[in-house]
Amino acid sequence: MLRLTKKADYGLMALKYLAEQALLSGKTGAASAQSAKDIAEAYHIPPQLLAKILQTLARQGILASHAGTNGGYALARPATEINAFEVIRAIDGPLFITSCITIHGTCDLAGHCTIKEPLRKVNDSIKDLLTGIIIADLAEVPDTEPTTTLGGGLVSIAL
């Protein structure tokens, strides 16, 4: 079964949190920096593990790290420009569903293998799907517009 690692899960959750906080505050950059502790508490993630993940994402240029009293982490780019695939790759390395599809070339059975091409297509499809998921899509910001309910709750109109 193909599964994301816990580290990749936590990384995506942290970026979701940072995107939501930036949207709620209406700010970007250092002003919207959040501490690793706050993120860890929000999602019940082990703080030391999350700190390592955030440092990795900062080294890869996905997050910006801000030192100081109001320091922490913020998205290095808008949430619309960061996709799930690059986050997973930054944390876990290249994504390959089989050992025959690697950055090192072909395996010993390359001349006789009948499944390499179909599996490459599956691998490419997964990569394309994850590339199409942007962090902004993951962010959930509560609707702040007041609504009026009509007809016993069957119809609501945004004001």
What ranges do the domains of the chain cover? 6-158
Query: How far apart are the C-alpha atoms of 26 and 2, rounded to whole Å?
Result: 37
Round to whole Å and give the CA distance between 50 and 14: 8
What's the token pair of residue 28?
A: 């970007």
Domain 6-158 sits in CATH at 1.10.10.10
Rounded distance between C-alpha atoms, residue 48 and residue 63, angstroms:
17
pLDDT value at position 28?
56
pLDDT at 75 over 90: yes
Token code pair at residue 57:
């994402």
Among candidate residues 17, 123, 134, the one with its CA nearest the CA of residue 73: 17
Predicted local distance difference test score (pLDDT) of residue 82: 97
Return the higher-pLDDT residue of 12 and 23: 12
The mean pLDDT of 93-99, rounded to a whole number, is 75
Q: How big is the chain by its Cα radius of gyration, in Å? A: 20
Alpha carbons 17 and 135: distance in angstroms, whole number: 10
Average pLDDT of the residues of the chain: 82
The residue with greater pLDDT, 22 or 146, is 22
116 pLDDT more than 50: yes
Cβ–Cβ contacts within 10 Å for residue 19, how many? 25
pLDDT at 41: 96
Please give the average per-residue pLDDT across 119-137, as a whole number: 91
Is the pLDDT at 97 greater than 60, yes or no?
yes
Identify the pLDDT of residue 27.
Answer: 64
